Amino acid sequence: TTSSELPPRTNSSGAAITRTNPVRLDTNGAVQRVDPSIEAHVLACLGVAKDSVADTALVGIVTGGRLENVTVPGSFGDSLYLSKTGTLTNVKPSVGVGGFVAGDFALCIGIVVKNQSNPLLTDLLVNIRLVGQL
């Protein structure tokens, strides 16, 4: 299975972006991290960073399908969500858990799956969907 990707875009977040971080594009078409407390960010989340990059570097975005050989929280079959810090978590967001408060958004980013070529490796099956507002 292959992935759907956008061509590399500039990281303009002001900080490094790590592989698998959920990302969005800003009004200039540059890559930004996603803040789960801002509805516009959550609705604009279009994928995860393909690689870890420094600020101002180019980064590819996986919008769907497999991102192979990743290090993510959780076990095979777990759903992964946007965390309050903009990374991935295997704990479903709820008020009072992981820093989430009423009004924040729960966004499922994908599922942890076994790599097809090497079952010892972990892949992220990217399938972004809004779970709801807390």
pLDDT (0 to 100) of residue 134: 97
- pLDDT tens string 21-79: 999 999 999 999 999 999 999 999 999 999 999 999 999 999 999 999 999 999 999 99
Q: Quick check: 2 pLDDT over 90?
A: no
pTM: 0.95
Q: Quick check: 80 pLDDT over 70?
A: yes
pLDDT (0 to 100) of residue 78: 98
Q: Quick check: 126 pLDDT over 90?
A: yes
**Phi and psi torsions of 21, nearest 5°:** -65, 130
1 — pLDDT class (breaks 50, 70, 90) = low
- pLDDT tens string 6-37: 999 999 999 999 999 999 999 999 999 999 99
**Long-range contacts at 29-38 (CB < 8 A, ≥ 24 apart):** 31/59, 31/61, 33/86, 34/82, 34/86, 34/107, 35/86, 36/82, 36/83, 36/84, 36/86, 36/93, 36/100, 36/104, 36/105, 36/106, 36/107, 37/84, 37/101, 37/103, 37/104, 37/105
